[in-house]
Structure 1
Amino acid sequence: MRRPLRERGVAPAAGTIAINSGLEFLLTFAVLFAVTTITRWVMGPSPIAHAIPGIHLRLLLIGACVGPLMAGLILSRPGKVSGAHTNPAISLAMWRLGVFPGAAVLPYIAAQLAGSALGVLAARAVWGPTTGRPPVAYAVLRPGPGWSDAELFAAEAVSMGVVVTLVGTFLRKPRLVPFVPWLVGLLVGTAIACLGTVTGGSVNPARQFGPAIVSGHLDFLWVYLLAPMAGAVVAAAVLNRVGDHRDARAAVDGDPEIS
């Protein structure tokens, strides 16, 4: 979630983009393998599932596991190299915020989606047919009863917008940058625990892509893919507008930091 691949104004080499995209593939593979594994043991037939009554407590446990996992991947050596986006909406937002090269956006997204699908398939190979049966169903997400496409789109877009706004704000304040991995982990874990029974708590197109493709449950997939991207673009635009306004005001006031 840092500033991988380039310094400002310096375009990365194709080889660098390829290497970092490969790392994004591995990191997203790890995320979806872990998410599917955790869901299999927390939601599926297991001693853990029998010991924890109710969907809300189970989602809380899943969030408590996935949140630190995300922070750890960002802090890992591969994560420090690639930025550990593991989320197409984050890659898009980082580009729009000017801290990520546009040439790397599509390779990153392709790597993330491929890693998502193969991570789910790997979990299926390790844990067997139970992974594909309800209530696990390859950890595919579904909104609560009665949700329309438009309502889900708005909820996912707003949720992603909140994530991008907070992460972007932290990245723009040097003293807060070291806390970004933990912020991301907290936001992901909170989304799972609080939104799991409402919208599914995705806020990540790659999170839904692999489970939906492997399971064949494609309902709402287009929403889970596009809504976070839309929310990310809008949030980045707002952050840029606010940042430009602050820079202009600081220039008028003679702020030495921008001289």
Structure 2
Amino acid sequence: MSRSGSPAAPSGADPVRVRVPVQTVPAGSGYPLYEFALTAALMFAVVTIIRWVLDPASPLVLENLRLALLAVGALTGALVFGLLRSPWGRCSGAHMNPAVTLALWRLRAFPGRGVTAYVIAQLCGSVAGTVLARLVWGPAVARVGYGMAAAAPSWNGWTVFAAEGGCLVVVTLMIGFFLAHPSRGRWFPAALGLLVCVIIAVLGPLSGGAANPARQFGPALMSGATAGLWIYLAAPVLGAVLGAGAHHRLLRAR
């Protein structure tokens, strides 16, 4: 994003063909390091928020789960907005989500040669942020499962898969909308932050509302609860691919 809020392409990208609300990245740049740091910051903050509002021993605990997840969603959405608008976020695009990186590639707004570096940086950042939260807050983080998203007992694996994948279909279609309307790019950080808040508040008590492989990766590894991790890794990726396909189909239909 440029300072005026309009989409901007970094050096090495075609400024005519690439006009996106989330910036592209030329191969060989140091931007994956920014993605690592931004994802680590996101995960540290998310685990911290969950530690304070869901830990029974916390003085700020919210007994009502839906109210607690609404608070988590609102704070996380505000954080996503802030990271997108931060200097590092403006450099790397602040994807902080492997499925978003894949979606941008499938939307032809991100170079394929940068996908692997970004995904590795985001997953490593997830682990780093979760570990840092454990070091700062101690055993309280373990009591809340290291902030890992958890599905309701009444939801089976395939229902969770459908919900988590559907989230990324919606996210990808929203990104596609801003790609098709670059003059409205200044609204993208706020729109994404609001959508993140809604996903967590609505789906948090049901599927877990992760909608981000990196969001679940670090907490699952740290807690050792990796049995259902594949759902939270694969579903958003599939949703990103389906959402990008739907976006291209809508453009052709027009």
TM-score by length of 1: 0.88
Q: 1: CA distance between counterparts of 2:247 and 2:145?
A: 38
Q: CA RMSD in A?
A: 1.8
Q: Which residue of 1 aligns with 2:124?
A: 114
Structure 1 residues 193-232: aligned runs within 5 Å: 193-232=201-240
- Contact kept, 8 Å, 1:171 with 1:180, in 2: the verdict is no
Output the amino acid matched with 1:143. A
2:183 alignment partner, SS class: coil
How far does the alpha carbon of each residue in 1:197-229 deviate from its partner, in whole angstroms, 9 at most, with x for none?
100001100000000001101131000000000
2:60 alignment partner, SS class: helix
Task: Pick one of 185, 189, 196 that aligns with 1:181.
Answer: 189
Residues 14 and 159 (structure 1), Cα distance of their counterparts in 2 relative to 1, 3 Å cut:
closer
- Contact kept, 8 Å, 1:95 with 1:105, in 2: the verdict is yes
Q: Gapped runs of 5+ residues in structure 2?
A: 2-6, 19-23
How far does the alpha carbon of each residue in 1:35-66 deviate from its partner, in whole angstroms, 9 at most, with x for none?
000100111121111xx331111111111111
Runs of 4+ in 1 over 4 A off after TM superposition: 1-6, 9-13
Structure 1 residues 37-186: aligned runs within 5 Å: 37-44=48-55, 45-49=57-61, 52-133=62-143, 136-186=144-194
- Contact kept, 8 Å, 1:194 with 1:201, in 2: the verdict is yes
Shift of 1:109: 0.3
1:219 alignment partner, SS class: coil
Q: 2: CA distance between counterparts of 1:172 and 1:226?
A: 27
Aligned residues: 240
Higher fraction of helix: 1
2:94 alignment partner, SS class: coil
Q: 2: CA distance between counterparts of 1:12 and 1:144?
A: 38
Higher CA-based Rg: 1
- Contact kept, 8 Å, 2:26 with 2:111, in 1: the verdict is no
Output the amino acid matched with 1:35. V
Shift of 1:13: 5.1
**Paired-residue identity, %:** 45
TM-score by length of 2: 0.89
Shift of 1:12: 6.2
Q: Gapped runs of 5+ residues in structure 1?
A: 247-259
Q: Which residue of 1 aligns with 2:40?
A: 29
